[in-house]
Amino acid sequence: MPTEPAPLSPAQEAELTQRAAQARQWAYAPYSGYHVGAALLTASGKIYDGVNVENAAYGDSICAERTAAVKAVSEGEREFVAIAVATEGGGAPCGSCRQVLSEFGLHAQVLITDGAGQICARTTVAALLPLSFGAADLA
């Protein structure tokens, strides 16, 4: 079981929030206009970015956080340390994103940033998803 990660350094926080803000420019959100960028730090030290990608068939859309998670997992990553999420108004990850992130790091830190790049909230996946459902529940 992964251990609780050490707190992020100010330099790590700055890099993650900057990368999430930069990723926002590539979001594909023609229907909602709600552009989201994410930057995910894994235990290996690599950072994976992601954006939301909307679709006219709304259910086929994917959030930035899950895009970053899928990119990381598809390259062999299995332990998440932290994620920064950038939206115009400082929105938090949705329930589906919280569940996906919990699979790879309940103790992962979450930085929620606004359009100015300011950190609005520092929390963890566990705090965002209390009483989470995981592998132990399947036993």
CATH of the domain at 102: 3.40.140.10
pLDDT value of position 48: 98
- Cα–Cα distances (Å) from 69 to 1, 79, 106, 117, in that order, read 19, 10, 13, 21
Residue 55 lies in a domain: yes
Query: Model-level pTM?
Result: 0.94
8 Å CB contact between 8 and 82? yes
Which residues span the domain enclosing 46? 10-138
Mean pLDDT by 10 residues, the chain (139 residues): 74 97 98 98 97 96 98 98 98 97 97 95 97 93
Catalytic residue selected from 13, 54, 65, 77: 65
Count of structural domains, the chain: 1
Active site residue 77: no
Residue 1 lies in a domain: no
Residue 74 lies in a domain: yes
